[in-house]
Amino acid sequence: MGGQLGIDIARALAQNPRSRLHVVGIVMIDTLYPYWGPPSTIHAEFPLDLVLKNCPPDIKECMVRCMQWSKLDSDDWVERNSKENKRQLRGLEAETPPPAVLIHAKSYVPAENSKPGEKCMVDAFRDEKLGWDLFPHQFIAAVWDMQTHHFGLFDKDTVSANEIRCICC
């Protein structure tokens, strides 16, 4: 959901003549186009313990509920922002977002007990642009590959001080 929020905030700021903020670009950290495939797509079981291993059970339950809600919201956003509906785009959706740099995790999330061909939802479009070719606006200016999976991007072994400097400079 981070991608759709970042894009819509950047587009809204660009449209607002009173905004003192000028967005020159977006950094998307392994941000997926929020389309999970047709309804017939079967995804591997989401590895909750990989993501929420240190969460108390009540917070874990709330997080899962929020993830389910955000999927429904993302489905609605995709319908309004689809390449197929490009001629019908109005308002915010018609605006091209500022250029983006996409930090891309190259590996698949380790999914336990998955069947051949099944992938975790965050790996549905683990291609070069993470499904953003389905978006009506081509705004990704550069892709930076990282040799890890989606949930490993901020592990101590993945991110070094030098890599952080490269992102910020």
Contact 98, 139 (CB under 8 A): yes
Q: Edge to edge, what strands does the sheet with 26-29 contain? A: 26-29, 100-105, 140-146
Residue type, 112: E
Rounded CA gap, 126 and 44, in Å? 14
Say what percent of the chain tops pLDDT 90.
8
* Confidence (pTM): 0.75
pLDDT tens per residue, range 94-107: 888 889 999 999 88
CA gap 136, 82 in Å, rounded: 6
CA distance 60 to 48: 9
Report pLDDT for 167.
47
Q: Note the pLDDT of residue 101.
A: 92
Q: 75-100, pLDDT tens digit by residue?
A: 888 888 878 878 888 888 888 888 99
d(C-alpha 101, C-alpha 70), whole Å: 23
SS3 37: coil
Cβ neighbours for 14, distance < 8 A, ≥ 6 positions apart? 23, 95, 98
Phi–psi pair at 33, nearest 5 degrees: -65, 125
Q: What is the pLDDT of residue 168?
A: 44
Reading the chain (169 residues) residue by residue, the pLDDT tens digits are 678 888 888 888 887 888 888 888 899 999 888 887 777 777 777 667 766 777 788 887 887 788 778 878 888 888 888 788 788 888 888 888 889 999 999 888 887 777 777 778 788 888 778 889 889 999 999 998 888 888 888 777 766 644 544 444 4
Q: Give the three-class secondary structure for 102.
A: strand
